[in-house]
């Protein structure tokens, strides 16, 4: 049986960064390189699998338990975040981690410091997989992909293991909020599912943010700086002024738990015009709607001060909090809890400070909580994942399947 580490390293070697500026599905053709690989690997295991025109891999393992068991699915996304390069990833493998700082890149001095990330110390003695300090790692969510594939291989190589019908799904474009836009739930065929897309070992989530993306365009007026008095309107400065109107305490770096936030993720501009991009998040629907109104009020203020049309706001909804869709099916949470406890893992049920494909799938009729994949510090050069967390996650998948078949 192939080791999960070998799978993971193979998957992260494929550049699958999604492209928010693209209108295609998948947003980047290179995602299909890994999706085709996964389809072929599943087929080689003896599992019926297909890859459709939208970049969805769907596979099915027939029941062998002779009982009326609801089909259960496991889903992970193959794309990596646009926030950092996903090309030419060179992982570092630190065996028997000593609990001290980990140097990632000698040239820049970038390190994983225990003082900054105290949770590192909890993985002393384990095998830690890190970046080389120049790219992200891709554990979000190729750790989840590897865990599902590892569990599938175990099941196919152990025919004595009794289970109901198992569904496997791999999706593109989760990182840009379009992961399941064209996902055919009926074709997938699961009654319940789990995304393997959480963070540290033990995480179990069935609440997530309500989410929107906001773009503010600032139209300035460029005049030669020697003759600019009373005439120039610097779009960069006006955009900075607008950003300063948003509540500082509601930035991601000052929030936790159920706190929502405004997060500026990019800006690009000149004196003539500029564009500022944000994401807006809140677990509470009323506060979520209020945040969108606050953003509009800031734009209105700028237009009142500098003239109508100076600032233009576009808000695009991304996903809703899945709690109300999952809670009526609490037994799927209970099974995940027990599956973790069977591996000696203490479950930590908490709200997701982000989103997963499962949020949209839950509103599409497929209740889909989220289980840890094991990684930390997603979307950046400080990303890492303990090997033992991935191994445990694979066992949790197998345990959930066995619990459904009881």
Domains of the chain and any CATH numbers: 4-208+321-404 (3.40.630.10), 215-319 (3.30.70.360)
Average pLDDT for runs of 10 along the chain of length 406? 93 96 95 98 98 97 95 97 93 96 93 96 97 96 98 97 98 92 96 96 94 96 96 97 98 95 96 97 96 98 97 93 93 98 96 85 95 96 98 98 96
* pLDDT for residue 22: 94
DSSP assignment of 164-218 equals --EEEEEES-GGGT-TTTT--HHHH--SEEEEEEE-STTEEE----EEEEEEEEE
Residue 83 designated active-site? no
In whole angstroms, what is the distance from residue 194 CA to residue 75 CA? 6
- Straight-line distance from the first to the last Cα atom of the chain, in angstroms, rounded to the nearest whole number: 26
* pLDDT for residue 2: 85
Mode of pairing for the β-strands spanning 128-130 and 384-386: antiparallel
In whole angstroms, what is the distance from residue 60 CA to residue 152 CA? 10
* pLDDT for residue 193: 98
Exposure string over 367-379, b if 16+ CB within 10 A, otherwise e: bbbbbbbbbbbbe
DSSP assignment of 116-168 equals T-GGGGGGTTS-EEE--SSS---HHHHHHHHHHHHHHHHHHH-TTS----EEE
* pLDDT for residue 17: 96
Burial class (CB in 10 A: 0-12, 13-18, 19+), 25: middle
* pLDDT for residue 355: 75
Q: Which two tokens stand for residue 130?
A: 């890190």
In whole angstroms, what is the distance from residue 150 CA to residue 167 CA? 14
Catalytic residue among 19, 79, 147, 173: 79
Question: What phi and psi values does residue 97 have, to the nearest 5 degrees?
Answer: -50, 130
Catalytic residue among 174, 175, 203, 391: 174
* pLDDT for residue 356: 79
Residue 174 designated active-site? yes
Tens digit of each residue's pLDDT (9 = 90 or more) over 130-179: 999 999 999 999 999 999 999 999 999 999 999 999 999 999 999 988 89
* pLDDT for residue 177: 82
Instruction: Indicate the pTM of the whole model.
Output: 0.86
Tens digit of each residue's pLDDT (9 = 90 or more) over 96-130: 999 999 999 999 999 999 999 999 999 999 999 99
DSSP conformational letter for 33: H
* pLDDT for residue 217: 98
Residue 290 contacts residue 246 (beta carbons within 8 Å): no
């Amino acid at each position: 049986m192939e080791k999960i580490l070998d799978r993971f390293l193979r998957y992260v070697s494929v550049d699958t960064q999604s492209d928010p500026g693209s209108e295609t599905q998948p947003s980047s053709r290179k995602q299909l390189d890994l999706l085709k690989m996964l389809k072929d690997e599943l087929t080689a295991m003896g599992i019926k699998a297909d890859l459709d025109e939208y970049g969805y891999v769907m596979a099915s393992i027939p029941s062998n338990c002779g009982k009326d068991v609801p089909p259960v699915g496991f889903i992970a996304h193959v794309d990596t975040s646009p926030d950092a390069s996903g090309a030419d990833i060179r992982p570092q493998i630190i065996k028997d981690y000593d609990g001290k700082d980990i140097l990632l890149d000698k040239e820049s001095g970038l390190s994983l410091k225990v003082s900054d990330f105290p949770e590192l110390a909890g993985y002393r003695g384990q095998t830690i997989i890190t970046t080389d300090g120049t790219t992200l790692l891709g554990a979000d969510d190729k750790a989840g992909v590897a865990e599902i594939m590892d569990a599938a291989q175990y099941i196919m190589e152990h025919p004595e293991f009794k289970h109901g019908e198992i569904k496997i799904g791999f999706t593109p474009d989760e990182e840009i909020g379009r992961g399941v836009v064209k996902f055919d739930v009926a074709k997938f065929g699961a009654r319940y599912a789990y995304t393997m897309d959480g963070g540290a070992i033990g995480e179990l989530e069935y609440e997530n943010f309500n989410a929107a993306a906001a773009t503010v365009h600032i139209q300035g007026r460029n005049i030669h700086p020697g003759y600019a008095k009373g005439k120039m309107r610097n779009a960069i400065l006006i955009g900075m002024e607008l950003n300063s109107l948003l509540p500082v305490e509601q930035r991601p770096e000052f929030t936790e738990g159920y706190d929502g936030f405004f997060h500026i993720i990019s800006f690009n501009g000149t004196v003539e015009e500029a564009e500022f991009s944000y994401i807006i998040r809140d677990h509470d629907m009323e506060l979520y709607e209020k945040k969108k109104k606050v953003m509009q009020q800031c734009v209105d203020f700028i237009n009142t001060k500098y003239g109508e049309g100076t600032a233009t706001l576009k808000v695009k909804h991304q996903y809703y909090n899945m709690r109300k869709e999952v809670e009526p099916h609490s037994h799927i949470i209970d099974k995940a809890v027990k599956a973790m406890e069977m591996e000696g893992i203490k479950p930590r049920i908490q709200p997701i400070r982000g989103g997963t494909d499962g949020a949209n799938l839950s509103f599409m009729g497929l209740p889909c909580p989220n289980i840890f994949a094991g990684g930390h510090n997603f979307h950046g050069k400080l990303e890492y994942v303990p090997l033992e967390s991935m191994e445990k996650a694979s066992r949790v998948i197998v345990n959930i399947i066995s619990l459904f078949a009881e």
